[in-house]
Structure formats: structure tokens, C-alpha cells
Homo-oligomer: A and B are copies of this chain.
């Protein structure tokens, strides 16, 4: 998902385009990995001093709902990143910079046989650690 696709999607669904909304998209496009609401607020503060929590969280939830952002949870905080729309995959997440690496292994196929009669609604497969760029040798 890129910025233009995201803006089109919002328009299509009848949401309005605002400067803040565009800036949030830019932030996540440049982030190239998971970021917290706090990270986003800090970024927006430089342009929009005193931006409201309401605005930030409302838009994060909206973006997640319409599929612009995907989300996970770590250390009691929600993390957001641009949605990878091309195909199903999982992520290695760097705990230092938040950047992610795509993992194309998905174990669900092997798993379903162990879960007959279970109603499966979702799954999460994530790998945590430090990416090469963040390793101080």
C-alpha cells in the first residue's frame, strides 16, 4: 500500500482528505516498519503543535479498519505499519528500529489438521530480534 492508493481508498469510502491524514500516511511510508502512536504523535507535533490524541488514535483506527495499516502489539503498546497487501506473509521485527523483514513461511497449512472442530479466526507468527543494521559489532 502506498500513499496514493491509500488516499484513493479513503476517498472511495467517503472519508475526507486532510493535511494531517496525508502526513500520517507519509510518516508510515517513510517509517518502513512498525511505529507506535507515540512515535507518530512526536512526528506530527513538529508540524501541528498540540495535535489531539483524538485525531491521532481516530485516524490510526480508521486506517487499520480500511486496511491501510496493519497492527500488532508488543510490550503493552500497539504498533502500526503500512499494510503489505501483495500476499500473505509474516514478519521479523527489529526491536531497535521497528523495521521488518518479510518471512514467507506460514505454518498454518500444517496446523489446521491438528485443529479439527476448532473455529480458527486468526493467527500470529512473528520473530523478534535485532536486524543486521542495528547490530553494534
Contact = CB atoms under 8 A, between A and B. Distances in A.
Residue from the set A73, A108, A125, A131 with the largest chain B CB neighbour count within 10 Å: A125
A111 B119 CA distance: 27
Given A76-B76, A111-B127, A92 B121 contact: no
Copies per assembly: 2
Interface of A: 73-74, 76, 78, 92, 95, 101, 103-108, 110-111, 114-115, 117-132, 135
Contacts of A114: 101, 103-105
A110 to B, nearest CB: 5
A61 to B, nearest CB: 13
A124 to B, nearest CB: 5
B130 A107 contact: no
Nearest to A135: B119
Contacts of A108: 127
Nearest to A78: B76
